[in-house]
């Protein structure tokens, strides 16, 4: 059998089809004694290269860098390769130096192809997992950066991604979770699972340990009356919870300030450091009551000296009620200005009409009761009472001029000055007109003249009269309408008891039903109509009671007398005894009627 050979310039002649080892010897050849030196050399060569399993960690030295890979010598016949991307920073720049030592993980180990693929990042992750295990087993801590919010909590970078549940982020609920993103904290490892790449962390566990340590010391040192520093932990409408160092105390809203506090959030924010005083401490229930106002003296203890009756003070309006305003004179001391003490002249229905919260006002101390923590103030007392001088300024009988400010059923209010209004009663508007409502004659804003009738300072009443600016027409009515005079007028009203007749504007007379006719009638209604002209005789006049009595019947009787008189005067002498008797009777009747006089 012919054996074909080929020549290798380095190794000599080898047979074709024969497998040789790396030293050029055919496999299976028996090594002769003279080849022992070569065998020892080959053993040394093999031992000089370490063999690593895939997934194993190794130390290597960087020997070369190209565009795609970093070559690392890990003691193998050929160098291991790491992707250049594992050495790039956030800006995409390669951060590596030849000669640097680096820890790597063997990803692929192929002896046949003499190819070794390595990973620096995976080696780092393996080290992290080993560290996580050690920390968990030793109940240690790990530092990490919260990178983002995820469902139910946060993602944390501790070398590899980990999960921080929201309930484990702090001792209390966090209002703004986004504030924690980007922050570095220390965590406990609650549990981990390398196969599932799951790590659960807790920051709360560390804080609880710290709080418990501080709490024990706080409980040893706390006692009533002690002044302590604390941090506002929570704010409610009834007070503030303060962390005194592992122990929470309640600062009730009534113990925050001697002054008025509507809501604690006006004065505090969560996280504020404050100084408080221990008011009471129940060690069994671990309940602590705190106070802030107790750090300063009660201002009411010296209020009587500081705010004596009659003293002029200034303060800020802090509250409005239906019955007045509360004025803060200083922190902890408020006075009440009753609505009746706000103005001398104006009747104020609600303080909001003249004043607003936050406004600074001046007032006079009217009364002070430190035991009840009450001060009565007056705003109007700052100025002179205009009612004290109004009678001097406007004596009774003075004619004033003013604008009608208001119209009511019973009269007119006229503005004078100093915000004093005078009242013209409806009965003092006109001497003669029957006015059902003042708006029939005047309207709001009209400028009128009136006479001062009366000033009642005690009851603060200013009485005026418009009709008094003119003479009373009833004073001269007897001169214009003498008793016995025959007059004519317009019927203004017809009633069962008589007929009203207007003699002139505002002057009316009454024809009583008994004076309508010589015949007895029950009622004039239906016989006379409003608007008709009627002639009657003036029977009587009562100027004080503003009454004029008229009679139609007397006119008829006067007509009868006139007829009788004319007849008697034309009678001829009687021609018989009966005639004489008749004439005597007629003359007697005539004389009797002529002697009649009207009632006055």
Condensed to tens digits (0 to 9), the pLDDT of residues 363-374 reads 999 999 998 899
Residue 45, pLDDT > 80, answer no
Look at the alpha carbons of 146, 149, 153, 158 in this order and tell me if their dihedral is positive or negative: negative
Average pLDDT value for residue range 25-48: 49
Average pLDDT value for residue range 247-264: 88
- Grade residue 28 by pLDDT with cuts at 50, 70 and 90: very low
CB 426, CB 435: distance < 8 Å:
yes
Q: Where are the beta strands (DSSP E) in 101-252?
A: 101-110, 115-119, 141-150, 153-157, 161-165, 184-193, 198-202, 227-236, 239-243, 248-252
Question: With respect to CATH, is domain 386-469 assigned 2.40.50.140?
Answer: yes
- Grade residue 593 by pLDDT with cuts at 50, 70 and 90: low
The DSSP annotation for 533-561 comes to EEEEEEEEEETTTTEEEEESHHHHHHHHH
List the one residue out of 407, 549, 411, 409 whose CA is nearest residue 467.
Answer: 411
Kindly report, residue by residue over 177-235, the tens digit of the pLDDT: 888 899 999 999 999 887 888 889 999 988 888 887 777 787 878 888 889 999 998 99
Kindly report, residue by residue over 101-151, the tens digit of the pLDDT: 887 878 777 666 667 778 777 777 877 888 888 888 888 888 999 999 999
CB 76, CB 49: distance < 8 Å:
yes
Kindly report, residue by residue over 465-490, the tens digit of the pLDDT: 998 888 888 888 888 888 888 999 99
3-class DSSP assignment, residue 268: coil
- Grade residue 591 by pLDDT with cuts at 50, 70 and 90: low
Structure tokens at 148: 């983002």
Fold of 476-600: OB fold (Dihydrolipoamide Acetyltransferase, E2P) (2.40.50)
Pick the CATH number of 222-295 from 3.40.50.450, 3.40.228.10, 3.10.129.10, 2.40.50.140: 2.40.50.140
List the one residue out of 591, 569, 572, 590 whose CA is nearest residue 580.
Answer: 572
Look at the alpha carbons of 206, 208, 214, 217 in this order and tell me if their dihedral is positive or negative: negative
In the prediction, which pLDDT does 577 show? 61
Q: Is the pTM of this model over 0.75?
A: no
d(CA 466, CA 446): 13
In the prediction, which pLDDT does 232 show? 93
CA dist list (Å): 266 to 256, 257, 270, 294, 511:
11, 12, 12, 19, 82
**How many other C-beta atoms are found inside a 10 Å radius of the C-beta of residue 274?**
17
List the one residue out of 76, 72, 145 whose CA is nearest residue 109.
Answer: 76
Residue 566, pLDDT > 60, answer no
Fold of 316-382: OB fold (Dihydrolipoamide Acetyltransferase, E2P) (2.40.50)
Question: What is the chain's Cα-based Rg?
Answer: 61
d(CA 240, CA 252): 6
Question: Which residues are bridge partners to 12 per DSSP?
Answer: 8
**How many other C-beta atoms are found inside a 10 Å radius of the C-beta of residue 295?**
10
d(CA 60, CA 78): 12
> What is the location of CATH 2.40.50.140 in the chain?
24-124, 139-207, 222-295, 316-382, 386-469, 476-600
CA dist list (Å): 501 to 35, 202, 229, 474, 528:
169, 107, 96, 16, 11
In the prediction, which pLDDT does 338 show? 95
Taking all residues of the chain, what is their mean pLDDT, rounded to a whole number?
81
Residue 46, pLDDT > 70, answer no
In the prediction, which pLDDT does 442 show? 92
Fold of 24-124: OB fold (Dihydrolipoamide Acetyltransferase, E2P) (2.40.50)
d(CA 292, CA 332): 13
Q: How far is CA 296 from the centre of its chain?
A: 30
In the prediction, which pLDDT does 14 show? 45
Residue found under tokens 């106002």: 293
To the nearest 10°, report the CA torsion of 144, 148, 151, 152: 40
Residue 322, pLDDT > 70, answer yes
In the prediction, which pLDDT does 597 show? 45
**3-state SS of 4-58?**
CEEEECCCEEEECCCCECCCCCECCCCCCHHHHHHHHHHHHHHHCCCCCCCCCEE
In the prediction, which pLDDT does 15 show? 42
Average pLDDT value for residue range 147-162: 90
d(CA 582, CA 451): 67
In the prediction, which pLDDT does 314 show? 93
Structure tokens at 430: 């006109």
Nearby residues of 448 by Cβ (< 8 Å), 6 or more positions away: 401, 402, 404, 412, 414, 424, 442, 466
- Grade residue 359 by pLDDT with cuts at 50, 70 and 90: very high
Number of H helices, E strands in the chain: 8, 32
CATH superfamily of 139-207: Nucleic acid-binding proteins (2.40.50.140)
Q: Which is more confident, 496 or 64?
A: 496
CA dist list (Å): 527 to 45, 509, 579:
158, 18, 42
In the prediction, which pLDDT does 572 show? 56
- Grade residue 415 by pLDDT with cuts at 50, 70 and 90: confident
């Amino acid at each position: 059998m012919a054996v074909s050979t080929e020549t290798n310039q380095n190794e000599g002649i080898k047979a074709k089809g024969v497998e040789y080892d790396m030293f050029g010897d055919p496999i299976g050849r028996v090594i002769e004694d003279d080849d022992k030196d070569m065998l020892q050399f080959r053993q040394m060569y093999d031992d000089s290269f370490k063999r690593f399993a895939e997934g194993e960690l190794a130390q290597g030295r960087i020997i070369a860098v190209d565009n795609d890979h970093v070559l690392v010598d890990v003691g193998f016949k050929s160098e291991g390769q790491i992707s250049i991307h594992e050495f790039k920073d956030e800006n995409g720049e390669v951060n590596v130096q030849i000669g640097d030592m680096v820890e790597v993980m063997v990803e692929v180990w192929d002896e046949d192809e003499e190819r070794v693929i390595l990973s620096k990042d995976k080696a780092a992750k393996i080290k992290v997992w080993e560290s996580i295990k050690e920390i968990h087993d030793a109940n240690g801590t790990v530092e990490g950066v919260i990178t983002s919010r995820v469902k139910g909590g946060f993602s944390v970078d501790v070398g590899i991604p980990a999960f921080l549940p929201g309930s484990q982020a702090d001792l209390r609920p966090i209002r703004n979770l986004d504030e924690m993103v980007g922050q570095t904290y220390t965590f406990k490892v609650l549990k981990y699972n390398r196969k599932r790449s799951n790590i659960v962390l807790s920051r709360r566990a560390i804080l609880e340990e710290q709080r418990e340590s501080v709490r024990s010391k706080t409980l040893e040192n706390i006692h009533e009356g002690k002044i302590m520093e604390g941090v506002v932990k929570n704010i409610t409408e009834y007070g503030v919870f303060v962390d005194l160092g592992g122990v929470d105390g309640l600062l009730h809203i009534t113990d925050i300030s001697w002054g008025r506090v509507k809501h604690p959030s006006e004065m505090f924010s969560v996280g504020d450091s404050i100084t408080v005083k221990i008011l009471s401490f129940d060690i069994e229930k671990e309940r602590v009551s705190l106070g802030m106002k107790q750090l300063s003296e009660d201002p009411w203890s010296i209020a009587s000296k500081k705010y004596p009756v009659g003293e002029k003070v200034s303060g800020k309006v802090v509250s409005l009620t239906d019955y007045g305003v509360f004025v803060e004179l200083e922190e902890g001391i408020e006075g009440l200005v009753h609505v009746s003490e706000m103005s001398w002249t104006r009747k104020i229905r609600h303080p909001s009409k003249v004043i607003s919260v936050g406004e600074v006002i001046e007032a006079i101390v009217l009364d002070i009761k430190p035991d009840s923590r009450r001060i009565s103030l007056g705003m109007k007392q700052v100025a002179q009472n205009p009612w004290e001088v109004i009678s001097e300024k406007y004596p009774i009988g003075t004619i004033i001029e003013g604008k009608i400010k208001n119209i009511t059923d019973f009269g007119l209010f006229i503005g004078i000055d100093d915000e004093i209004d005078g009242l013209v009663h409806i009965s003092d508007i006109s001497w003669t007109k029957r006015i059902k409502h003042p708006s029939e004659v005047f309207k709001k804003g009209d400028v009128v003249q009136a006479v001062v009738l009366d000033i009642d300072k005690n009851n603060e009443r200013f009485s005026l009269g418009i009709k008094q600016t003119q003479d009373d027409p009833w004073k001269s009515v007897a001169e214009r309408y003498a008793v016995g005079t025959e007059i004519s007028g317009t019927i203004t009203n017809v009633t069962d008891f008589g007929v009203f007749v207007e003699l002139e504007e505002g002057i009316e007379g009454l024809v009583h039903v008994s004076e309508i006719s010589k015949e007895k009638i029950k009622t004039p209604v239906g016989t006379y109509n409003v608007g008709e002209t009627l002639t009657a005789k003036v029977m009587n006049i009562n100027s004080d009671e503003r009454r004029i009595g008229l009679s139609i019947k007397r006119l008829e009787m006067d007509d009868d007398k006139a007829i009788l008189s004319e007849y008697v005067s034309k009678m001829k002498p009687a021609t018989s005894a009966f005639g004489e008797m008749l004439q005597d009777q007629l003359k007697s009747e005539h004389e009797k009627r002529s002697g009649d006089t009207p009632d006055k």
